[in-house]
Structure 1
Amino acid sequence: MRNLWIFISRYNAFFLFIIFFSTGIYFTIKNNSYQRSVTLNSSNEIVGNAYERLNIFKRYLNLGMVNDSLAAENAKLKSELLGLTTVDSAKDVKVIDTITNQQYTYLAAKVVKNSITLRNNVMTINKGSFDGIASGMAVLSPQKGVVGFIRDVSSHLATIQSLLHKDTKISVTLKKNNALGSLVWGDGNFDIRKAFIKEVPNHIKMYMGDTVVTSGYGSFPAKILVGKIVKTNVTTNDNFLSAEINLFNDFSTLQYVYVVKDKKAEEQKALESIVKPNE
């Protein structure tokens, strides 16, 4: 307390100046309408700018929630669109269907971990068994392209075996003629924008610029865009054709994905398990 009084007495002139100066400003503003209006306008502008900056900061903090909401809404719309405009691969026409009878539905999930530099890349999403996620489900990109398959599932999380994995193989076709092949990333390739279509029958003609899409076999819906052929006649040790493709999907920027729920997956799996391999 003694030091406080010493400090005040030492700087009393400064404190008296502050008191008289503040008092003078107060009476000037109070007794003069012009100064009062200028002060009010200035203070309102300052407060308004402060609130505006605060709102911008709040909107920034809420971007995560907004993105989650938009991703969920997009998943719902994609599911409804898929149910209303299912493609008949035999006639390549749109078949009207009801939402209740559709085979596929989409569930939006946020990527919480992603690897792209390894030989076997795996990512983690924030949805699990409580959300209906199960092993083997297909995963798509919000923009274009396939992502991979659900591998391991916990209550609230799941891992995805990425397309950028040596053991991932996805059934695809050439969009122009429905010729079947297999999409793989392996064979020493570490380029995340490049993959290969293999096991194409050797009588099929493939050209640069041909579009590759999913075949509909397996867990993926048909006609999902995958990439374009950039190099044909890739050498292999079998009697099939291979080609190099540029992927539409950019794995380095993935923040959200869509998990595909196939309504008929269990029924198909049960039926196919009846057939013996050597029959």
Structure 2
Amino acid sequence: MRSLFRFLIKNYPFLLFIFLEAISLVLIFNFNNYQKVKYLNSANQVTASIYNSFNSVVNYFALVKINRELAHENATLKTILQTVPRIEIIPDPIFSEGVETDSSFRFISARVINNSVNRTSNYITLNKGKKHGIKPDQGIISREGIVGVITRVSDSYSIGLSVLNQRWSISTKLKKNDFLGSLAWGANEYRFANLLEIPFHVELAFGDTVLTSGYSSIFPEGIMIGTIQSFLQPEGGNYYDIKVKLSTNFKALTFVDVIDNLNKAEIKKLEHLIQDDPNNN
């Protein structure tokens, strides 16, 4: 304590000068508009510079993550090309020119700009619209698997209904035996859904892979949906209660591909003819 007093007494003139200088600056900046504006502008420039530097670092690491996801996406699409016949990949026109070939499907890349996971009907907003070839009833997939289906489109943007909704189900098949079923979301967890219509005589195992069946004009056959997490045989029933872990992490969506079935109109027209045929009633 004595040392502190000695320090204060010894440096009293300097400390008093600093104190009075601080009071003077406060009075100048508070009661003189010109100096106040100059001070605030300088402070804002310093703050903006700090934020800009921080954002540059954040954006750098974000670009690393985005590039990594694009590499995974390209690898996934190459795999799809090997397993699903007659598919054409249409790259983003900003980066390269599309090559037209005789194909049944094309993929239009898009970025997710909004996404929900906590509602009973969840939606995804994409940065592509009509002028990019996006139309209602086109499927949406990610590098991890199935995502949803396009419902509304404007010139530059589109909205898709996510798998995380109770308004529609997806035609599925088990990878190991091609047995057909359907997938429906229970509005409980964003990583899980229910696999329906699988009877007891079908052999199941933990980790069995669930894929799209191809019995739809929205998704090609063989797109990843998820893996079986658990299954039970309820008393008095004929079908399993099956919980599927979805392969897509809906909280981490960045890039997706919208699937355009080039033969959809022809298929729908033919199916309508069958439905309207009185001999089929």
Q: TM-score range by the shorter chain?
A: 0.5 to 0.7
Residue 86 of structure 1 and its aligned partner are, at CA, apart by 2.6
2:179 match: 179
In 2 relative to 1, CA 208–238 (structure 1 residues): closer, same or farther, beyond 3 Å?
A: same
1:193 match: 191
2:159 match: 159
1:21-170 paired onto structure 2 within 5 Å: 57=56, 60=59, 67=66, 71=70, 74=73, 82-83=80-81, 85-86=83-84, 100-142=101-143, 144-170=144-170
Q: Separation in 1 of the partners of 2:147 and 2:254? A: 12
CA deviations over 1:203-239 (Å, ceiling 9, x no partner)? 3222222111111121111111211111112649964
Contact 2:200 2:233 in 1 (8 A): no
Q: Separation in 1 of the partners of 2:170 and 2:191? A: 16
Q: Separation in 2 of the partners of 1:112 and 1:197? A: 29
Q: Which structure has the greater CA radius of gyration?
A: 1
Q: Separation in 2 of the partners of 1:205 and 1:62? A: 45
1:221 match: 220
Residue 255 of structure 1 and its aligned partner are, at CA, apart by 1.4
Q: Separation in 2 of the partners of 1:85 and 1:61? A: 35
Q: Separation in 2 of the partners of 1:211 and 1:274? A: 35
Tell me the TM-score normalised to structure 1 length.
0.65
Residue 59 of structure 1 and its aligned partner are, at CA, apart by 10
Tell me the TM-score normalised to structure 2 length.
0.65
Identity of paired residues, percent? Answer: 30
In 2 relative to 1, CA 250–74 (structure 1 residues): closer, same or farther, beyond 3 Å?
A: closer
1:32 match: none
Per mean C-alpha deviation after superposition, the further-off stretch among 169-178 and 102-111 is 102-111
Q: Any unmatched runs of 5+ in structure 2?
A: 1-51, 87-98
- Is 1:268 paired with 2:276? no
Q: Separation in 2 of the partners of 1:152 and 1:72? A: 29
Contact 2:114 2:125 in 1 (8 A): yes
Q: Separation in 2 of the partners of 1:191 and 1:78? A: 26
Letter matched to residue 247 of structure 2:
F
Residue 62 of structure 1 and its aligned partner are, at CA, apart by 11
Aligned length: 213
Contact 1:145 1:248 in 2 (8 A): yes
Q: Any unmatched runs of 5+ in structure 1?
A: 1-52, 89-97
Correspondent of 2:205 among 191, 207, 215: 207
In 2 relative to 1, CA 194–124 (structure 1 residues): closer, same or farther, beyond 3 Å?
A: same
1:37 match: none
Q: Separation in 2 of the partners of 1:138 and 1:127? A: 14
SS in 2 for 1:200: coil
Residue 145 of structure 1 and its aligned partner are, at CA, apart by 1.6
Contact 2:227 2:245 in 1 (8 A): yes
Residue 130 of structure 1 and its aligned partner are, at CA, apart by 0.7
Contact 1:230 1:244 in 2 (8 A): yes
SS in 1 for 2:275: coil
Q: Separation in 2 of the partners of 1:59 and 1:240? A: 49
> What is the RMSD computed on CA atoms of the aligned residues?
3.5
Q: Separation in 2 of the partners of 1:236 and 1:113? A: 42
